[in-house]
Chains A and B, each alone.
Chain A
Amino acid sequence: MTSFTVQLLMNSMITGSVYALVAIGFALTYNIGGFFNMAHGAVFLLGAYGGYVALHVLQFGLPLAVLVSAAAAGLAGIVAHSAVFRRLALSEAPSTVFFISSLGILIAVEGTVATGFGYETIVFMPGPSPSSTFFGARVTDIQVYILALSFALLLALVVFFHMTNIGKQIRAVADDRELAKAVGISVNGVMFWVFVLGSMLAGVAGLFVGMEHTIRPGSGMVAVLWAMVASIMGGVGSFIGPVVGAFLLGFIENLAVTVFPSEWKATVVFSILILFFFLRPVGLFGVRR
């Protein structure tokens, strides 16, 4: 392998692992709740800015900042679920109402964040990060940290889904919501945990994006779009689908910027997304029902 290939794969892994953290909660909410949860971008944003406050205002170390991000986003997820989505579910609102409400939450949180921090782009880690060379590819210490923690979280999630009661119930409801109701599983109870866990992961991803790139109030909307694309490409019906979709998206993006000017990145991604709609609408790991 040339060092170019190693660099490309390495960058794709880093991008993909962060996208995966955002996509999992988004895909689960879509699968179980049947709506595109734009508020996922809001919890991403709160995680990011929460992490920024922890790092730069409270002067916490990185591990503590990760916890702050997860906690801020997780709490926001609980509030969104309890105050809005649980009520909509109980009144059996149509999915468009869920979607519009979630968009409202995203816009409101975006505005609130902008009021507190301004619209300008925030850099979490000014100055160059120390880096090392790995088979000819340059990897910064921050990237190693992001990669390691993302994979640890994904692994922990697999264990959670297979070893815990809640995890198994989430899988059951994701498999067949109607059957789950019929056998007495509380779909709303499961949804609560999906919001808590999905939001925490998205919050940590927000911090990582701030560390590796930059954050601004509009980043929440961008994050939901990644999650949407990753979920559609991978398929929402399984755990592995959105994760693989996220890594594929990371690869496509990193490949695209080596071929086209970087302003074309989104165009390339969405063109491929539309191809997916034609060729494999259920996603790579989707099942036709």
Chain B
Amino acid sequence: MLLTVEDLAVSYNGAGVVRGVTLHTAASECVAVFGPNGAGKSTLLKAVAGLLRSDRGEVLLDGERITGLDPATLGKYGIVYVPQGRRVFPSLTVYENLEIMLYRLGSRERRAAVESVFADFPALRDRSGVAAGRLSSGEQQIVALARAMVLKPKLLLLDEPTHGLSAAWVERVFVSLKALCGRGVAIVLVEQAVEKAVELADRGYVMRLGRIVREAEAANLVQAYRESGLAWTIKGERNYELSQFA
């Protein structure tokens, strides 16, 4: 197993938010994590990414214990986290946003690594000198994905990459994600755009109140999601996506 999370628990000021989560991802596998707001999905990813201390439980990479290692070390091991909402460093150029991941390398190696990522995200090459804060939210999300890819990760932890994007950009982000999957990058994807995520994912989990309440193969994911009762607990536009399956 590439990534194994075992009985992970995280709390804020004593209040348990992630309460014993166990999940796993095989190499090159895309795993979706669904759940209503407040379920603890972001907290789970942050703890795996080494940004929050866990109360108990383990995180293993290829069977080696990596629990609580800091993001820089995890990056070296091939795990890169892309947080929700905060996409880019706005005053840094697109090029600098990618390059900043590589400060340990010499400038020639940095340029080569950024160039190879531009090959996968050609639209960014034209924008490379632009301050990232000037880009649209959709473009910024593509920059965030490209920035993660600079480290040539084995595993991406993505927290709601399409949150707040227009339908056209949601589409484009998923095209990029599909391309990354095709290249053998494993992904743990927290996503509210359930319909799109189900298309992409091999497998998925449904999380509620800090626990995994369902696990299913892609084909059964929508069914599992519905059975968990979430279609009726989520308010707002995302319901429309769910209602198509109901």
Which residues of A from 165 to 182 have beta carbons under 8 Å from B? Answer: 165, 168-169, 171-172, 174-176, 178-182
Task: Determine chain A's interface SS by DSSP, over half rule.
Answer: helix
Chain B residue numbers with a CB within 8 Å of A165 are: 103
Report the tally of A-B residue pairs with Cβ distances under 8 A.
60
Kindly provide the distance from the CB of B208 to the nearest chain A CB, expressed in whole angstroms: 25
Taking each of B72, B74, B75, B91, which has the highest tally of chain A beta carbons within 10 Å of its own beta carbon?
B91
B71 and A171 form a contact (CB under 8 A): no
The verdict on B83 contacting chain A, using a C-beta distance below 8 Å, is: yes
The interface bits of chain B over 151-187 (1 if a CB of A lies within 8 angstroms of the residue's CB, else 0) are 0000000000000000000000000000000000000
B91 and A171 form a contact (CB under 8 A): yes
Q: How far is the CA of A181 from the CA of B92 in the complex (A)?
A: 16
Q: Which residue of B is nearest A179, CB measured?
A: B86
B147 and A183 form a contact (CB under 8 A): yes
The verdict on B99 contacting chain A, using a C-beta distance below 8 Å, is: yes
Chain A residue numbers with a CB within 8 Å of B103 are: 165, 168-169, 185
Kindly provide the distance from the CB of B110 to the nearest chain A CB, expressed in whole angstroms: 9
A181 and B71 form a contact (CB under 8 A): yes
Number of interface residues of B (CB under 8 A): 25
B89 and A184 form a contact (CB under 8 A): no
Offer 28 A-B interface pairs, CB within 8 angstroms, sorted by A: A169-B100, A169-B103, A171-B91, A172-B92, A172-B96, A174-B91, A175-B89, A175-B91, A176-B90, A178-B83, A179-B86, A179-B87, A179-B88, A180-B89, A182-B51, A182-B81, A182-B82, A183-B71, A183-B75, A183-B80, A183-B101, A184-B70, A184-B71, A184-B73, A185-B100, A186-B72, A238-B91, A287-B90
Other contacts beyond A168-B103, A179-B88, A183-B75: 15, CB < 8 A: A169-B103, A171-B89, A171-B96, A172-B92, A178-B83, A179-B87, A181-B51, A181-B71, A182-B51, A182-B71, A182-B81, A182-B83, A183-B71, A184-B101, A185-B103
Q: Which 8 pairs, one residue from A and one from B, show the smallest C-beta to C-beta distance?
A: A184-B72, A184-B71, A175-B89, A179-B86, A165-B103, A172-B89, A182-B83, A184-B75
